[in-house]
């Protein structure tokens, strides 16, 4: 018997201008906005500023999580969202693509379960 618990979206934003990926305030704002617009149901969030630049962050949502890690010097951000609920992950992905001004987006979607 197969049981799917949710979908896990693994997203890579490539060719991003470094300035939008360097600082925690910018990444946090973009990330929270994407979560809200996708109706993710934010519970709590935490973001960390690396030195000299780069950000990691996570948002706990009603249906699992969002996570982001940035490499500004490479113009790259890795984003994942795992959801088993009524949110719209594609809206979050598009919002982040626009916000990070990604030149290219690569995505893999995995079913989670057994």
CATH assignment of the domain containing 59: 3.60.90.10
Say what the pLDDT of residue 72 is. 98
Query: Which pLDDT band holds residue 2 (cuts at 50, 70, 90)?
Result: confident
- Cα(55)–Cα(11) distance, rounded to whole angstroms? 16
Dump pLDDT digits (tens) for 71-114.
999 999 999 999 998 899 999 999 999 999 999 999 999 999 98
Q: Which listed residue (8, 38, 69, 99) is catalytic?
A: 69
Burial label for 106, CB within 10 Å (0-12, 13-18, 19+), is exposed
- 99 as an active site residue: the answer is no
Contact by Cβ (8 Å): 12, 103: no
Domain limits for position 62: 4-113
pTM for this predicted structure: 0.93
Q: Which listed residue (30, 38, 64, 99) is catalytic?
A: 64
- 56 as an active site residue: the answer is no
Q: How many distinct structural domains can be found in the chain?
A: 1
- 65 as an active site residue: the answer is no
Dump pLDDT digits (tens) for 22-72.
999 999 999 999 999 999 999 999 999 999 999 999 999 998 999 999 999
Q: Which listed residue (29, 84, 99, 111) is catalytic?
A: 84
């Amino acid at each position: 018997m197969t049981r799917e618990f949710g979908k896990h979206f693994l997203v890579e934003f490539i060719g991003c201008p470094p300035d939008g990926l360097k600082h925690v305030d910018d990444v946090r704002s973009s990330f929270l906005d994407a979560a809200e617009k996708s109706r993710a149901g934010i519970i709590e969030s935490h973001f960390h500023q690396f030195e000299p630049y780069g950000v990691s962050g996570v948002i706990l949502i009603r249906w699992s999580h969002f996570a982001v890690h940035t490499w500004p010097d490479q113009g790259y951000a890795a984003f994942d969202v795992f959801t088993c609920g009524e949110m719209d992950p594609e809206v979050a992905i598009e919002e982040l693509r626009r916000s990070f001004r990604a030149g290219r987006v690569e995505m893999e979607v995995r079913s989670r379960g057994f």
